[in-house]
Amino acid sequence: MREITVLTHRLPDETRDTLARLVKEAARAGVTLRLDEEETSKHCLQAGPGLEVNAPVKDDVELCIVLGGDGTILRALQLYTGTQVPVFAINFGAIGFLATVERGDVDDGIRRALEGDFELLRLPAIVLDLDGCAQTAINDVAIHRKVGERVADLAYALQDEEVGSVRCDGLVVATPAGSTGYNLANGGPVMAWGVEGFVVSFIAPHSLTARALVVAPGDRLSIHNRSREPLDVAVDGRPAGEIPPGESIDARFARDVGTIAQLPGSTFYRRLRDKFGRLAS
């Protein structure tokens, strides 16, 4: 039996019609859509042809369809980290950099998703060792001073060689997919999907010499908290823990951690231009 997970963003009114449409087409195609407890309740769903409600997340589905923006897509990618399940996203968000099709192409998008008419792109991740527990960032890891504390004192090293140390608001480690987010806000470069490396940039560094550094994929990054207070760690924009004062955490690059569906012939560069416009124009 063909099974597909569906995730939608937090405003069910916006996705309701598309979801109904998707259920209808899935039933017709002999596919069962699985929506978990939260989705079931959010959309007041009842089981029926092509629809399994209150369905626990499981890894052996053929696809994960997202109706949402980059936040929901990241959640889906996180959910299927380490599996081969592709995430096929219809953009219901503001930017939707990771989306497969735009909201205006819903009909075509549903058809393609159900027929498997798409290409796969494997995405790398940053793997963080936080208190002995591995956390995976598809986009970025952000280290941030706590509110009320005026400034963080942060250092980082690569292969045990300290490269940067400065008073700042924080530090961001981004994959190529995440480079157009918080990293860009710090003056970091745009990195095309397919670049083998990840980028480290400081948030508001009190220094004249701050510059983003693109790290080689095999190199271990250590981030050291020199502040008197713990620092907050966020993974893909969600709170993930703390670095206590005087302590360090390690991060490394990992290939092929998530999978997104793409339209045939789509490139990062077209996506960049469609979403951001030209780099200089």
Choose, by CB under 8 A, the member of 61, 77, 123, 203 that binds a copy of itself.
203
Backbone angles phi, psi at 9, to 5 degrees: -80, -175
Site track 236-255 with a copy of itself (rule: CB under 8 A), x = hit? -x-x----------------
Tell me how far, at minimum, the Cβ of 269 lies from a copy of itself, in Å: 4
Q: Which stretch binds a copy of itself (CB under 8 A): 10-18, 25-33, 101-109, 168-176?
A: 168-176
Q: How far apart are CA 273 and CA 118, in angstroms?
A: 21
Under the binding rule (CB under 8 A), the answer on residue 111 touching a copy of itself is no
How many residues touch a copy of itself under the rule CB under 8 A: the total is 67
Under the binding rule (CB under 8 A), the answer on residue 206 touching a copy of itself is yes
User: Which residue in 104, 237, 109, 122 sits closest to 174, CA to CA?
Assistant: 237
Three-state SS string over 52-63 comes to ECCCCCCCCCCE
Tell me how far, at minimum, the Cβ of 123 lies from a copy of itself, in Å: 13
Query: Is 70 annotated in the active site?
Result: yes
Candidates 36, 70, 169, 236; catalytic one = 70
Tell me how far, at minimum, the Cβ of 70 lies from a copy of itself, in Å: 12
* 28 or 146: CB nearest a copy of itself: 146
In contact, 134 and 235? CB cutoff 8 Å: no
Under the binding rule (CB under 8 A), the answer on residue 219 touching a copy of itself is yes
Q: Which stretch binds a copy of itself (CB under 8 A): 79-87, 104-112, 123-131, 153-161?
A: 153-161
Farthest CA pair distance, the chain: 62
Under the binding rule (CB under 8 A), the answer on residue 79 touching a copy of itself is no
Backbone angles phi, psi at 236, to 5 degrees: 50, 40
CA-to-CA dists, residue 147 to 170, 182, 183, 231, angstroms: 12, 18, 20, 10
Q: Enumerate long-range contacts of 91-94, CB under 8 Å, 24 or more apart.
A: 92/8, 92/9, 92/14, 92/15, 92/18, 92/67, 92/68, 93/9, 93/68, 93/69, 94/69
Which residues are designated catalytic? 70
Interface residues toward a copy of itself, by CB under 8 A:
146-148, 150, 157-159, 161-166, 168-169, 176, 179, 181-182, 184-197, 199, 202-219, 232, 237, 239, 267-270, 272-273, 276-281
